[in-house]
Structure 1
Amino acid sequence: MSSARDIILQRIGKAIEEGRAPPRSERESGAEARLVAKERTVVPKGANVSGEEAIALFTQKAQSVQTTIQHVAAISNVAEAVSQYLTAKNLPQAIRRGSDPLLDRAGWEAQPLMEVTIGPSDGFDRVGLSVAVSAVAETGTLILSSGPDNPTTLNFLPDHHLVVLPADRIEGPLEQSLRGIVDHSSSNGGLLPRIVNLITGPSRSGDVEQQIVLGAHGPRAVHVILIGDHPTAV
């Protein structure tokens, strides 16, 4: 017995075959027009920030949920910042990262003693390094998309999750950050990432006696390496 969904799809398919439905090009242009004409969501005044205001708000909100932040002037300073973090946490000079092209310019040559592995985490890495596609100043949230450039396993399996964030990728409200992902996909073949992770601080749980425990279901530390104060710094 066919489900209601199958019946509806069969009727739509039959209408298209018989020419009773508008042509595909007309349907696509109609959908695009409706999306363009759609009114944007009302955004709270406090989230309508950009530039230095967005950086300041993101920093405040991220630190309020135990995310640590380190500012660097340019992408070439990232490797040094990673080394400083590892030293401060008494961790081995070893990380695993994705193949994001931005990280190719991170200055690894200046850290010859650091072991840098590229690829998904197998669950035994102490430190993972990712690049955020965006960030939400309103909530201090990092947005990371899946793919070989930034494997999702790096977001959850290592104890320490380091995230590179160019300052010009910080948006005010969540809606604007998500819209940026859609716009970027439209200019790159129309393919959206299969997974988008929204990360607000380290993993935590209050299940046991309502006591907050960090690292319950993922990294127990999230550290942002924030690059520059404006787009030209990257």
Structure 2
Amino acid sequence: MISGRERTLSAIRDALGRGALGPDEKAKLERRLRYPRANVVPARGQCDSREGLVATFIAEAERVNATVERLCSGDDIAPAVADFLRAHNLPQRVRVAGDAVFKDVRWSDAGGLEAEAGPAAADDSASVTGAYAGIAETGTLMLLSGPDSPTLLNFLPPNHIIVLPEGSVVGTYEDAWHRLRAEVGTGIAMPRVITWITGPSRTADIEQTLLLGAHGPRRLHVLLVDGATSAA
């Protein structure tokens, strides 16, 4: 029985006037997918030291209007979240993802901070999620969806706090993909959704005036944690 996917691909081939791939073409395509060619890497994505990668990531993230705070350990996560909320006159309440990086976080110890896990709700003013990787080249964060990491947390609340272990900062997008593909090869399933976040949501569609928060969070705050467990 032909699947919907096969029918769709067959219709595309017919429209292009191409038949099914032969054995040699199929083998060539599979090699390209299995061993992708490396792209040109900008100098800022080529750091020999961990501290160099972290410094570049911070500089690039701040360049696109994110704020970054470095923490000594996971014990500092809850107090840092509470401080951020107070600084912006926000309620001491957050919607939190169930990432591994939050396993030992004691939210209630941070001056009455309330943290509730689950998908984002319309009245949530802030969300806290983990990130799979940080890309030094552009200050971008790579987030993976999962049962404990609903994608809506990345878009609905107007304030997004992302916790990133310093050890998860890589030089380039390709480095992050390589790491994920290697883990998928060991049996970890590829996530349904991969979200790339570079600074707060923005648009300049109206009279070329930059407006933050047009299609998602208007504030992005990154907590860069030394020695924290990966969010994956």
Corresponding residue SS for 2:94: strand
1:39 Cα shift?
A: 3.8
1:7 Cα shift?
A: 10
Aligned to 2:209: 211
Distance 1:3 1:135, change over 3 A: closer
Distance 1:92 1:181, change over 3 A: same
**2:10 is aligned with 1:5:** yes
1:4 Cα shift?
A: 7.3
2:59 & 2:163 partners in 1: Cα distance?
A: 17
Answer whether contact 2:78 2:107 (CA < 8 A) is retained.
Answer: yes
Q: Which has the larger displacement, 177-186 or 162-171?
A: 177-186
Deviations 1:24-52 (A, max 9, x none): xxx99x94x66565543332233112400
Answer whether contact 1:101 1:149 (CA < 8 A) is retained.
Answer: no
1:165 Cα shift?
A: 0.4
When the two chains are superposed, the root-mean-square deviation of aligned CA atoms in Å is 2.7
The count of aligned residue pairs is: 215
Q: Which has the larger displacement, 52-61 or 140-149?
A: 140-149
Aligned to 1:46: 44
Corresponding residue SS for 1:113: coil
Structure showing greater Rg: 1
1:3 & 1:211 partners in 2: Cα distance?
A: 41
Q: Which has the larger displacement, 207-216 or 45-54?
A: 45-54
Answer whether contact 1:80 1:107 (CA < 8 A) is retained.
Answer: no
Corresponding residue SS for 2:167: helix
Answer whether contact 2:61 2:140 (CA < 8 A) is retained.
Answer: yes
1:66 & 1:216 partners in 2: Cα distance?
A: 14
Q: Which amino acid in 1 is paired with 2:203?
A: S
TM-score normalised by the chain length of structure 2: 0.83
Q: Which amino acid in 1 is paired with 2:212?
A: L
Corresponding residue SS for 2:103: helix
Deviations 1:3-34 (A, max 9, x none): 771698xx97xx9xxxxx8xxxxx99x94x66
Equivalent positions of 1:76-155 (< 5 A) are 76-111=75-110, 113-155=112-154
